Amino acid sequence: MALKIRLSRAGAKKRPFYRIVIADSRSPRDGRFIEKIGTYDPMLKKETENRVKFDEERARYWLSQGAQPTDRVARFFGQAGLIKWEPRETPKKSGPRPKTLERMKAAEEAAKAAAGETPAAS
């Protein structure tokens, strides 16, 4: 069974509140979970102590059992010093795709060829 440490949404409309839970990866986001280990209240200021609360001992236990934290939970654990956390690299657009590059190159060669023929005919 693949375990995830993830956020489960609670709270009212436009007033989010999340529980940090251990769940089977196949379970729905707000569905069945194994254990609740903490809470996250994004409505509080970042400096507030109660914004993120979780049981570090239980988090260590579940990490040792192979549970994988989601990106947001990994950030919380990294700030608490439980795991080494680095921001995930997002793929950057490096430019046109290979097929587009071929077409652009062919168009340039055709333009050069056309430019080369015009002065020779004069």
Q: Please write the tens of the pLDDT for every residue from 70-83.
A: 999 999 999 999 98
- Tell me how many domains the chain contains: 1
Give the mean pLDDT of 18-46: 92
Domain residues for 8?
Answer: 3-80
The answer to whether 99 and 79 have CB atoms below 8 angstroms apart is no
Residue 50 has pLDDT above 60, yes or no: yes
Q: In three state form, how does the secondary structure of 57-79 look? A: HHHHHHHHCCCEECHHHHHHHHH
pTM of the model: 0.68
In a domain, 55, yes or no: yes
Element (H, E) at 111: helix 98-121
Residue 14 has pLDDT above 60, yes or no: yes
In a domain, 100, yes or no: no
In a domain, 121, yes or no: no
Q: How far apart are CA 22 and CA 8, in angstroms?
A: 10
Element (H, E) at 80: helix 71-80
- pLDDT class of 122 with cuts at 50, 70, 90: very low
Give the mean pLDDT of 56-65: 94
Tokens of 63: 């990490």
pLDDT at residue 95, rounded to an integer: 79
Mean pLDDT of the chain: 88
CATH number of the domain enclosing 52: 3.30.1320.10
